[in-house]
Structure 1
């Protein structure tokens, strides 16, 4: 097997925690993750079990695969789990059922060999910080899911970790509960200057974290960027489609002028799309087959009798309206082209009354700046 190459991604400057030569499995390409002190890095992707393995590797609960881990320049790679000053919170771990909330937190303090006389005061402070005063004497069997999670966070903070690792802790919680926990994490991070590495299965929660996001497809790290850049400057068609929700339309480049491609689509019509904006993205050439990625909210439908071709030298994308679904803030429409390809587009809900009946012919258009053309990816088509 040929040696794997290393993909190094610096998410943030002034690195506090740095992990080099990480891989989720030996046969996978290695990569690096960096986090600044007091910041959050979200791990989000299509395979949550793989991301759980990744945080287990970093925490020391999974055999090393050759990675190098440093905090403030100190190499912790060879240290046992208990000496790494990392704390992992996950739904895979349970509280001690025979101990009350307060006793669970006190035990975490004692496990860190803190002065026994200071333990009660330290535990009381954490219970207050996590809003657990009212349930301090309750046992885990009598706690709600939110109270159990708050207790786990108190236990974790009792260890005064240099890096707090949260493995999809919002999974299974109601939307309202998850948002309360998100608000709590934001408040704790500001108050305690926490550095957080967090896996997240909900894209909305990943976006609300406000931090950088490392996006994975399976076990491969594709891009580490701000949420805005993942949407507006995706480095691959996979990021554009899986993270940004873009339509991916196969076409052939027939012209290239001033960083704008003219593309003949397989579903019919000729459109324009920009070259990828990211410096790390691969550009194409005239004659190449490509994927035009355009988000549903960037497409404009035209239902009138006048054809767009009257205003352009190229034929537009044409199709039939086959589905309309009101989703609250927007209306989703599905347009089926002659070759069976379906294109999804979104319109503001205020326009719901002006959408014609199913079966209506429609022409689609978008500015070149609203679409990106990437090389054809075998795993997408």
Structure 2
């Protein structure tokens, strides 16, 4: 399968958010340039070993990629262009945090071909932002959108969170209303997940974390779906909404179970049926690159059953669901041959809609997505 997507990970943060369990480190006193040079070596070795096809999508995430200074950013962007060619009509996304990116960095991104920003907004109330460890404030959100348009980057996505400590349904509604004042094309909205090795996890274990009730979290999600539709954003995945034609093409690569490169500390890749996980700690990542050219900590060759399981639980995240014909073409088996029992059971429960061409989640199934996905694992 052709590899036309690449994810690149910048793990540095000026502040660690209280909920974040991604691979990240404090920026201060880190070997940033050494890390960026190691990333370039990984790019070179990876494209030499597997393919040097043109990339339809590139996504730079973190961490906080915009925490890099202008010189570091230029070094990084130049290395991308040395090793990845861009296809026609490409999508090049860069995660950006309000408050730590100005006109100079945005101009550099634009000149390097970045044509989409994923902006970490999370909430529009200063007290909520402070409570989750974010460093930006309300006014910074409007400033970054205005600057992006001034520079010429018009494809803008924002991240929102619900189910946050001390967040009410009314506060989330207010965030949505303010989001619709922005000239944006895409919204990713996620409920708070309490993950190990985070500050929130420690607070929860001490009984010091007050989060909204399950009922209120449900109300927030229902409000999200209704308001997005009312304001011209179509839900195309459980947590993602877009104006027509502005779906995240990179993330659709994951949900379609297609192959992609993963470059950087802790990055994941899926190449020719093998899932790989890179070493996470910076020193370990850099040393691995120096010694072997590759930083793989894990390599898992998927069985045919595992591929089909992933096809189902990734594909059902999409509102369009899973095509029966495409499944059969890909695996030379009917969905019913492999998952007939699961499909029948979930359809009877009202969680899955089984029509002539596709399997899709019902509205109740969208709310209980994890329960549905679990049914397709370890079959």
Same fold (TM > 0.5): no
Structure index of larger Rg: 1
TM-score scaled to structure 1, two decimals?
0.30
Determine which structure has the larger helix proportion and give its number. 2
